[in-house]
Amino acid sequence: MPRDRTDARPRADTEETRRAILQAAHNLFMELGYRAVTTRMVAEASGVKQPLLYYHFADKETLYLEVHREQTAIARAALERIAARKGESIPERLYHVVHYLRQANRQNMGIFFHELRHEMSPQMRATLRELFLTSFVAPITSIFEDGIRTGFLRAPDRGGIEPRLATYMLLSTVSSLSASTEMAAELQVNHGTCLYKQDPVRAIIHVLLYGMATQPFTMPPCSQ
Amino acid sequence: MPRDRTDARPRADTEETRRAILQAAHNLFMELGYRAVTTRMVAEASGVKQPLLYYHFADKETLYLEVHREQTAIARAALERIAARKGESIPERLYHVVHYLRQANRQNMGIFFHELRHEMSPQMRATLRELFLTSFVAPITSIFEDGIRTGFLRAPDRGGIEPRLATYMLLSTVSSLSASTEMAAELQVNHGTCLYKQDPVRAIIHVLLYGMATQPFTMPPCSQ
DNA sequence: CCTACCGATCGGTAGG
DNA sequence: CCTACCGATCGGTAGG
């Protein structure tokens, strides 16, 4: 749609503006959510007038999609790279995953799914869901699969859980960690006597791997 | 504010209407979130005209607060009752907690904190935060504290985590479970060979208690 | 408990 | 890339 007009500015300028809009929209959508961000807020944050957004993007929903397309591509590359480091242990790879997720200012996963269900058109919903699965869920799941394969993690039929469920537990805990001031503040206070406990990320991974119970699990064996 | 007018209806009718509004508002706020729910939607769902809401409640924010006041009172009673069942094991009590949380149609915790930070006035934010801590966090935390006290769970200085962090991990995982179709659908598919795995709630509690690793935790001992 | 209506703001368009 | 503006809808009020 852009650059088919006779009085168009040089390509660089137009591209630059488009990128400024995407960047501003990214920050605002992640901070406030789809509905709370107005097109006028995006325009002001990117230094243009509001109707210009509709020269670069068909509508607000499309702008939201383009933001996610760009960000998920970056996240996918980073997470697949971490997942592929077979030389590193499972805890190390998980730590790097969580570290990346926190550093990328992703919004809360619950809010993302909420927006998917309630604010997006059906085809947009399907596209965004696919982007999320490919870029976030798949790489992390492959780490858990690797853990089961190498015997570090229990297989689902040996008292373990499905890799996909493990991924969702990790993602939901970490995204709540970033989203809720309450939880984040709580974790900052935790200056325990143990080294890893000063780092909430390590504490969470520690629980997912080794649990909280004193004794190893005493559930009835699976092949009963 | 209500019932100080000369032509007021009988007390029962007015109370009934107020309750109908609260019930409709509860369902809508939990399903769609504060911002997405309009006062006109609440009015229609409770069978009254929109301006009537302002006879019973000062504004939209106050209506939201009253909904939470009522619901957290119910939740608090239920959760404190479960936490007090000292005859039941920690896993059993946790299972009942999660079962209750899922049955009460609570919204996603991430969305709740998001609304707290971005949609509420400061004093409303403080009140709602207090309600949440007293009604949800405190009772569940007391179960984890009990687990450490009785030796079923590892103490924070013995390779365990703070009870409060355990509570947030449980709450965030469970609330994502209810909120994301994605995750819920995933868990329905899980028909493993192991009994507890057919129940996603048991699987989540199992991981929090016993972890996913084959071997007990091999982190450096804490008193080093 | 209602009808009628307000100022503000929303996403998006016209026209250049 | 802008000014000007649209129809719709929002939370809330006037007045009875």
Compute the distance between CA of residue A56 and CA of residue A14 in angstroms, rounded to an integer.
9
Q: Is the pTM of this model over 0.75?
A: yes
d(CA A159, CA A161): 7
A59 vs chain B: nearest CA distance in angstroms? 19
Do residues A139 and A79 lie in contact, with contact meaning Cβ atoms separated by under 8 Å? yes
Q: Where are the beta strands (DSSP E) in chain A?
A: none
* Three-state secondary structure call for residue A48: coil
Q: What pLDDT score was predicted for residue A144?
A: 98
Q: Please, which residues bridge with residue B153 across strands?
A: A213
Supply the pLDDT for residue A200.
81
Q: Is A213 exposed, middle or buried (0-12, 13-18, 19+ CB in 10 A)?
A: buried
Q: Does at least one atom of strand C sit less than 7 Å from the CB of A50?
A: yes
pLDDT by residue (tens digit) across A171-223? 999 988 876 655 666 555 554 555 455 578 889 999 999 999 998 876 554 44
Question: For strand D, which nucleotides have at least one atom less than 7 Å from a protein CB?
Answer: 1-4, 9-15
Banded model confidence at residue A15, pLDDT cuts 50, 70, 90: confident
Q: In sequence order, what are the beta bridge partners of B213?
A: A153
Q: What is the mean pLDDT of each run of 10 residues along chain B (224 residues)?
A: 40 82 96 96 96 96 97 97 97 96 84 92 93 96 98 93 93 82 58 56 92 79 43
Between CA B138 and CA B68 the distance in angstroms is 17
Write down the pLDDT at residue B180.
64
pLDDT at A186: 57
Please, which pLDDT band fits residue A25 given cuts at 50, 70 and 90?
very high
* Positive or negative: CA dihedral B43, B47, B49, B51: negative
Contact predicate B192/B132, CB 8 Å: no
Q: Is the pLDDT of residue A7 over 60?
A: no
* Long-range Cβ contact pairs of A199-205 (< 8 A, separation 24 or more): A200/B165, A201/A95, A201/A98, A201/A99, A201/A102, A201/A174, A201/A177, A202/A95, A203/B161, A203/B165, A204/A98, A204/A170, A204/A173, A204/A174, A204/A177, A204/B165, A204/B169, A205/A91, A205/A94, A205/A95, A205/A98, A205/A170
- State mean pLDDT over A33-60: 96
Closest chain B residue to A32 measured between Cα atoms? B118
Residue among B78, B99, B109 at smallest CA distance from B205: B99
User: pLDDT (tens digit, 9 = 90+) per residue, A74-95?
Assistant: 999 999 999 999 999 999 999 9
Name residues 113-142 of chain B within 8 A of A (Cβ): 113-114, 117-119, 129, 132-133
Using the predicted structure, report yes or no on whether residue A11 has a pLDDT greater than 80: no
pLDDT of residue B128: 95
Average pLDDT, chain A: 86
A165 closest CB neighbour out of B129, B157, B203: B203
| Closest by Cβ to B176, choosing from A151, A168, A180 | A168
Instruction: State residue A4's pLDDT score.
Output: 39
Q: Quick one: pLDDT band at residue A6, thresholds 50, 70, 90?
A: very low
Q: Output the pLDDT for position A95.
A: 96
CA dihedral A64, A141, A214, A193 (to 10 degrees): -60
Average pLDDT (A121-130) is 93
DSSP code, position B216: P
Q: Residue B116 is encoded by which pair of tokens?
A: 């707290």
The residues near A173 (Cβ < 8 Å, ≥ 6 apart) are: A204, A208, B168, B169, B172, B173
Which of A133, A151, A175 has the CB atom closest to B110's CB atom?
A175
Contacts of A217 (CB under 8 A, 6+ apart): A159, A211, B206, B209, B210
Residue–nucleotide distance: A38 CA to C8 C1' (Å)? 14
User: Mind giving me the DSSP string for A164-176?
Assistant: HHHHHHHHHHHHH
**Beta carbons within 10 angstroms of residue B66's beta carbon:** 18
pLDDT of residue B131: 96
pLDDT of residue B17: 93
